[in-house]
Amino acid sequence: MSQASWSSPTTPAPLPSWPETQRRSANIWQLTRNELFKLWKRRLVWGLLGLDLFFVLAAWLVLVFYAIKTRDGFDPGHLLGGATGLMNAVGQPMTLGRRGGEFIAVALGGLAFGGEFSSGAIRLVLSRGVNRASYLIAKYLALAIACLALVLAGLLMSMILTNFLIIIHQPAPTLLNLDGNTIVTLLGICLGTMENFLLCLLLGSTLSIITRSAAFGIAAGFGYLIGEDIAAQILPVVGKSIHLPLGYQINQLLFTTNINAFYANTLPHALARGLDNLDGVIACTPMTSGCVPVGAGQALLVVLAWALVLGGISTYMFIKRDVLQ
């Protein structure tokens, strides 16, 4: 590595001055803009966005594969043309891709916070007088915008891919079949996916703030996401086998609260079943024998409670703890 000269030996550069009026740490909006700049410039973020789109593409390919293989896919009510077909054709890649997006959201949260702790860059930030709470909020806002970009990119990708169905089968849905109900369902999927990503973002962020490490935070977050799927298979059996009121209450609490898919009731039968299979513990739908339908209000309440717990822990840790890195 070559070392550039420190300064010109003949004509040392004068020290420039700085206007007095600008000597105040940035507010939340300025900090958010700064964080967005950092995300924009980070190749890894673009890589994760690409990965999310790959998940959507893979989900679409799976959909097409089964549609061709079984021919059931083009039965009435599924991918056969019309508004319901369009709802399925756009919604299924999105809901399947959502699972991959959850991991991406955890990684984003972990990298954004844990990365700065691991590298020590956090001390440069906080030594500039930046209010810790403002910085935390700004970071969350910027990451939320990144998550919104993930959702919208997934929607766009899914909508574009839908139009290619007509190549393999006619009739097939296209965007020309878009109607009011389909728009409402797609918005519900987007909203639910966004809410789901934000929760995962909080999870990754909180774990990385607690451990002060991106690697540990991301690993723990991934562990949770994988673990909940395993738990989804085991816990209902355990809960029911206890044959005690408490066991049923635990079962009820854990498996009837559809915290990440409150829109499941609005989905067509096939999509709801797919979502149930994907989301394990946190995505019970009326389609599952062990679950009871949960209203949007209750689902949102549970999400809000989790968000408050995760947000509270991360805020307390971030503001109160010493920066030792």
Partner 1 sequence: MLHPGTQNRPVAPLGDWNISPEPSRDIVLQTIGLTKAYGKRIAVNGLSLEVARGEVFGFLGPNGAGKTTTIRMLLNLIKPTFGEVRLFGQRLDQHSRNLLPRVGALIEQPAFQSYLSGRDNLIVVGGYTGGVDPLRVDEILDMVGLRERGVDRYSTYSLGMKQRLGVGAALLTDPELIILDEPGNGLDPAGIVEMRELIRKLAQMNKTIFVSSHILAEIRQFCTRIGIVRAGQIIATGGVDELLRSSSRWEVEVANPQYVCQLLAKVPVLHSVSIEQGLVVINAPSIKGHDLIYYLAQNNIWPESVRRSEEDLEHIFLRLTDKEAGL
Contacts 24+ apart (CB under 8 A), 67-74: 67/165, 67/168, 67/169, 68/168, 68/169, 74/169, 74/172
Residue 208: DSSP 8-state: H
Closest approach, Cβ 42 to partner 1, in A, equals 5
- How far is Cα 80 from Cα 246, in angstroms, rounded to an integer? 46
- Min. distance of Cβ 143 from partner 1 in angstroms? 15
Closest CB 190 distance from partner 1, rounded Å: 29
Q: For partner 1, how many residues bind (rule: CB under 8 A)? A: 46
| Binding residue (CB under 8 A) for partner 1 from 13, 176, 234, 246 | 13
Residues 43-72 touching partner 1, rule: CB under 8 A, are 43-44
* Using rule CB under 8 A, residue 243 touches partner 1: no
Residue entry with tokens 């935390």: 136
Q: Is the dihedral of CA 284, 289, 292, 296 positive or negative?
A: positive
Q: Residue 11 or 170: which CB sits closer to partner 1?
A: 11
User: Is residue 16 part of the contact set for partner 1 (CB under 8 A)?
Assistant: yes
26 binds partner 1 per the rule CB under 8 A: yes
Nearest-CA neighbor of 207 among 310, 103, 81? 310
* Site for partner 1 contains 28 (CB under 8 A): no
* CA 149/CA 291 separation, integer angstroms: 32
- Residue 10 binding partner 1, by CB under 8 A: no
Of 160, 150, 191, 149, whose CA–CA distance to 90 is shortest?
160
Torsion angle in degrees (nearest 10) through CA of 195, 196, 202, 207 = 170
298 near partner 1 (CB under 8 A): no
Say how many C-beta atoms besides its own lie within 10 A of residue 140's C-beta: 22
Kindly tell me which of 235 and 323 has the beta carbon lying closer to partner 1.
323
Distance between CA 48 and CA 54 in Å, rounded?
Answer: 9
Q: Under rule CB under 8 A, which residues in 113-142 are in contact with partner 1?
A: 116, 119-121, 123-131
246 binds partner 1 (CB under 8 A): no
By the rule CB under 8 A, 15 interacts with partner 1: yes
Contact between 319 and partner 1 (CB under 8 A)? Answer: no
Which residues make up the interface to partner 1 (CB under 8 A)? 1, 3-8, 12-13, 15-18, 22-27, 30-31, 33-34, 37-38, 41-44, 116, 119-121, 123-131, 322-325
